[in-house]
């Protein structure tokens, strides 16, 4: 459960980072 929560956090941030920058 800890690995799934951690993998979803960075994935959401990385996907949102480029979207906001653009």
Helix runs in 1-22, H state only: 2-21
Token pair of 1 as six digits: 């459960």
pLDDT attached to residue 20: 63
pLDDT attached to residue 8: 58
pLDDT attached to residue 16: 72
Residue with tokens 């941030």: 13
pLDDT digits (tens, 9 = 90+) for 1-22: 455 555 556 666 677 766 665 6
pLDDT attached to residue 9: 61
């Amino acid at each position: 459960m800890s690995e799934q929560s951690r993998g979803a956090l960075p994935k959401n941030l990385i996907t949102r980072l480029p979207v906001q920058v653009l």
